Amino acid sequence: MSEKMEIAYRALLELGLKPYQAKVYLALIDGKEKTASELVSITNVPQPRIYDILESLANLGLVEIILTKPRRYRGIPPEEALDKLVDYANRKIMQSHELAIEALKDIRRIREESPLLGVKVIKNISDAINRARKIFQSSLYEVLIAGPPELIQQVFGNFDELYAKKEKMIAVVAYEEEIPIPKDYPWLAIRKRTVGVVPLIVVDSARSLVFRENYALEITDAGLLRLLLDFYYHSLWRVSTPIKNFETRKGLTYSSTSLWLIKELIDDSLKKGYKVNLEVEGMDKREKKTKRIIGEIIEVRENSHGVTISVIMNADGRILSIGGLGAIFEDIEGKIFKAFIKE
């Protein structure tokens, strides 16, 4: 891929396209009609995925479908495509931002801890940062954090606590500047964005701190946590620029309560040809029982916007589909995930 093509590819990713979508659109950017088979040959996108990807690009208005036999596809001009993507990204960010702001306004009215709502107001920022450090240190499976570099460094300290948290996946979105990156910590991934939103930390999908100018909210309510998790993934993580990715290494175990986070590791492992065993603790949707399942991952399925993610695994001869929190159609609603990269 040429330098200019690489720049264009990265720009499309930042505007919300998935890697395969960006590759296929770039293959059509010359305006010439191409068949799905020709696009597979050009992009190396797996044959079973090409039609779903083309359909998703058509739904976004980036690709035109010519109803011939076989069907042919043509990309719209890049200026029009970028306008559409920028508009789509802006609308999605604004929707998430408005949802978060409305929720925070409602929560702000609370003046003391409410056992019913699971929200506590911390009126001193220094106390809030100390509290953030404590919940970071007590994390069992994963930490999601977003904010300016100085806040992130205050929570992490001198990274001694970070290095002690082997297996636990830690996702960081830093605003404005880069932060010092530990050189040998495979469980850490860092992304950067130029526009700051609401600084927050979410630990194990069970507890969160949301920082404002002169106070912070500690949240344990399941419904509000779900909102914050979706906000972090769709409005912060997916639209930010990767600085350091999770490092897939044979023989290591990676844990998380978020399926989208463990999926990034699984995708990279399968791409490299590694075999991955997955241990899942969650609810068997058919038997209505909590179970612990261990098996080898076969594939990962995801819709075009990353809203629905399923992991297909072989557990002692049983082919099971695994979803994340709130899963409806999968066999297992996973709540804790541990992936082991086989030697």
Which pLDDT tens digit goes with each residue over 112-134? 444 446 888 998 999 999 999 99
Q: In angstroms, what CA-CA distances link 16 with 53, 92, 194, 300, 310?
A: 14, 10, 15, 19, 20
DSSP H or E segment with residue 87: helix 78-108
CA-to-CA distance for 32 and 72, rounded, in angstroms? 9
CA-to-CA distance for 182 and 212, rounded, in angstroms? 28
**pLDDT tier, 180 (very low <50, low <70, confident <90, very high otherwise):** low
- Tens of pLDDT, residue by residue over 262-302, are 998 888 998 899 999 999 999 998 888 899 999 999 988 87
Q: What is the largest CA-CA distance in the chain?
A: 67
> What pLDDT does residue 327 have?
78
Domains, the chain, in order of start with CATH, read: 3-76 (1.10.10.10), 91-244 (3.30.870.10), 253-341 (2.30.30.690)
**Average per-residue pLDDT for the chain:** 86
> What pLDDT does residue 161 have?
65
> What pLDDT does residue 178 have?
64
Q: What is the pTM of this model?
A: 0.65
Q: In angstroms, what CA-CA distances link 246 with 28, 181, 193?
A: 31, 12, 18
Alpha-helical runs (H) found in 204-314: 222-231, 259-271
Report the percent of the chain where pLDDT is more than 90: 41
Cross-strand partners of 254: 339
**Nearest C-alpha neighbor of 258 from the set 160, 176, 162, 335:** 335
What values do phi and psi take at 337, rounded to 5?
-125, 135
- Tens of pLDDT, residue by residue over 299-339, are 888 775 656 788 999 998 999 999 888 877 888 999 999 99
Tally of helices (H runs) and strands (E runs) in the chain: 10, 17
